[in-house]
Chains A and B, each alone.
Chain A
């Protein structure tokens, strides 16, 4: 399917969940990309860090809670989840508040990592 080509993909998440469909449908692309044997990573910056917060409860909002999917990524061999430190700090969110293991990077490290990719898709 991938014709032997392996590219470095980074999916950049900058939006909070539920206010738009970007986070949910973005996650669907991430899951599909796992089938193509590419080098996939996810970056969470700005409001994207809210996607990973523990304790999401959508019952009263009447929407689908897709946050458990982040925990399932490991089963798809998607293990590179990067969260930007400055984005966490600006929102008063601690790494311990997140529902999945991530690597916290400073903004400069994150920018350097983006610069090493072949394909960057923002959602």
Chain B
């Protein structure tokens, strides 16, 4: 499963809800305002990441917000092509709205 999250964890509980339902082998992609969770300063918002779940962030959205230089370790930045590849690689996709 690819989980897509688009809300800042400082504003909404969406990321927490997603992480509570992600399982080993899944991937989580942070897009739009959720990219703030991928920065070093917001590492605490990802503390509940289950083992075996891989984390990705959409780099165009990170760059747009001036956060490209603050990407935390262990998170893979992808472009839209990478977004498409993630959707294709996982057997199902869920957007946490």
Contact = CB atoms under 8 A, between A and B. Distances in A.
Interface of A: 12, 14-15, 22, 45-46, 107, 110-112, 114-115, 117-120, 122-123
Given A46-B13, A117-B92, A120-B92, A22 B21 contact: no
B93 interface: yes
A123 B96 CA distance: 8
B72 interface: no
B21 A111 contact: yes
13 contacts: A14-B17, A22-B97, A46-B13, A46-B17, A107-B21, A118-B92, A119-B92, A120-B1, A120-B92, A120-B93, A122-B94, A122-B95, A122-B96
Interface of B: 1, 13-14, 17, 20-23, 92-97
Contacts, number: 35
A120 B1 CA distance: 10
Contact of B23 (A15, A45, A46, A111): A111
A114 B17 contact: no
A52 B21 CA distance: 21
Query: Nearest 3 CB-CB pairs, A to B?
Result: A120-B94, A111-B21, A122-B97
Contact of B1 (A107, A114, A123): A114
A12 B94 contact: yes
B21 A114 contact: yes
